[in-house]
Amino acid sequence: MYSTRRLEEAAQKRGHQVEVVDHLKCNLITEKQNPSIHYLGRSLDETDAIIPRIGASVTFYGSAVIRQFEMRHIFTAVQSQALMRSRDKFRCLQILARAGLDVPKSVFTNYSRDVNEVIQAVGGVPLVVKLLEGTQGLGVVLVENRKAAASVIEAFNGLKARIIVQEFIAEAHGTDLRVLVVEGKVVGAMKRKAPEGEFRSNLHRGGTASLVTLSPEEEHTAVQAAEAMGLGVAGVDMLQSNRGPLIIEVNSSPGLEGIEMATGADIAVKIIQYLERNARGNSRAVEQ
């Protein structure tokens, strides 16, 4: 993958030993005061730092692997609790709102039968329905009339799929901002635009990306969002609305390809430098 390759290259250029590890093949051994991580028959206990790149479908085991490194006081670019918080979309919104950051009005229910109340709570249609743990725009539906909205919500509820119903921000016009924050500083930002006939701007859905200059408010919002989530490395997604920047998601494993291509910035080296400032030694870096 592009992001893995770039991180490996950046670390090697700065003189580090790097190993790409499949975290699903790690065995975690826990005993009194001696947590250990084994990979393909050998120990990873003397690693200086890790850069977790955990897929959404394996968040549970991935977070356990990160915790095991944390128990050995090995620095991680993404902490296990921050990863878990970011992967639960509604928990993420709760944390951001509590920190005083603006988010689209959102409703999460326990499969409520009162669908009309849910629709009304976000200001009516059009509205957006999102799977609680969807990624890359998958499981995100724009619904433009009340009858269709009721049908979609009822269908997801019938499947026992956890969803968030969210207000639609029309003035964003199918665009959003992806801001990369590393150790409390913005290191890159791009504007993503959805293809014709689509409202999801994800690059995986055919969206396009271009360099953007953030307003002071947008930059401050992105930094505050990463801080609120406890993420040293974060991809903060925001909509430009009539009431200011609205945070829609904070990604704990942001891809580097789109933003490096759009900005020309070396984001990978910024992440490696973050590790250098915090790792217990500079001889070895491991990417999960």
Q: Is residue 15 assigned to a domain?
A: no
Mark whether 117 and 155 lie in a shared domain. yes
| Same domain, yes or no: 178 and 162 | no
* Count of structural domains within the chain: 2
Which DSSP helix (H) or strand (E) runs through 107?
strand 106-107
Structure tokens at 211: 């360099």
Backbone angles phi, psi at 30, to 5 degrees: -120, 125
| Domain match, 134 and 154 both | yes
- The reply to whether 78 falls in a domain is no
Q: Which of these three, 168, 184, 217, is where a domain ends? A: 168
262 shares a domain with 198: yes
Residues 148 and 231 both lie in one domain? no
- Asked whether residue 239 is domain-assigned, the answer is yes
Write b or e for each residue in 219-235: b if 16 or more Cβ atoms lie within 10 A of its Cβ, otherwise e: bebbbbbbebbbbbbbb
Structural domain span for residue 118: 106-168
CATH of the domain at 154: 3.30.1490.20
Does the residue 231 lie in any domain?
A: yes
140 found inside a domain: yes
Q: Which of 141, 168, 195 is the last residue of a domain?
A: 168
Query: Is 202 found in the same domain as 189?
Result: yes
How far apart CA 103 and CA 167 sit, in angstroms, is 10
Other Cβ atoms less than 10 A from the Cβ of 13: the count is: 12
Single out the residue in 120, 152, 168 at which a domain terminates.
168
Q: What is the CATH number of the domain that holds 249?
A: 3.30.470.20
Q: What is the pLDDT along the chain (288 residues), one digit of tens a residue?
A: 999 999 999 999 999 999 999 999 999 999 998 999 999 999 999 999 999 999 988 999 999 999 999 999 999 999 999 999 999 999 999 999 999 999 999 999 999 999 999 999 999 999 999 988 766 557 889 999 999 999 999 999 999 999 999 999 999 988 999 999 999 999 999 999 987 766 665 565 557 889 999 999 999 999 999 999 999 999 999 999 999 999 999 999 999 999 999 999 999 999 999 999 999 755 455 666
Does residue 195 fall inside a structural domain? yes
Judge whether 5 lies within some domain. Answer: no
139 assigned to some structural domain: yes
* 177 and 143 fall within a common domain: no
